[in-house]
Structure 1
Amino acid sequence: MGVRKAMGGWWRARREAARQDAGMTTSEYAVGTIAAAGFAAVLYKIVTSGAVSGALESVIGKALDAPF
């Protein structure tokens, strides 16, 4: 019976912790969205740069000219 009582206390503590974090999800989504948008902007700048653009065109051109 002692283990069961201890587990009940553990679950109660988990529920209380979950209730206290109820408002955190919106801010976490906002930070994640901003981080993803920033990463996308940096990646776009890299891919559209002259050197990377030329390399991608070369790779695509070689792939299209490959004999089957």
Structure 2
Amino acid sequence: MTRSIMTVRWSAARRLRALLHGDGGMTTAEYAMGTVAAVAFASLLFEIVTGGTIKEALTGLIERGLEGGGI
């Protein structure tokens, strides 16, 4: 076979392999965006849980549990 035919065959095989296997993982930019999103979500949850109403409800629930009372 000529060199150009072999090159076409190999490049077609590589493209097919890339299509079948897809992307193996996240890139550095995707890791950074995922980390930023996780931190933002954690800070939102922290604000909600440490807010007055939720904090009082959780404290009351824990106190009733320690006293042996029902929910």
- With the length of structure 2 as denominator, give the TM-score of the two structures: 0.62
Partner residue in 2 for 1:52 = 54
CA-atom RMSD in angstroms = 3.1
The one-letter amino acid of 1:34's match is V
Compare the two structures and name the one with the higher helix fraction.
1
Report matched runs for 1:1-68 at 5 Å: 12-13=14-15, 15-16=17-18, 25-66=27-68
Which runs of no fewer than 5 residues in structure 1 stay unpaired?
1-7
Deviation, 1:43, is 0.5
Deviation, 1:66, is 1.4
Which runs of no fewer than 5 residues in structure 2 stay unpaired?
1-9
> 1-side partners of 2:40 and 2:61: how far apart?
27
The one-letter amino acid of 2:46's match is Y
- How many residues matched? 56
Runs of 4+ in 1 over 2 A off after TM superposition: 8-11, 14-17
Identity within the alignment, % = 44
Which has the greater radius of gyration?
Answer: 2
- With the length of structure 1 as denominator, give the TM-score of the two structures: 0.65
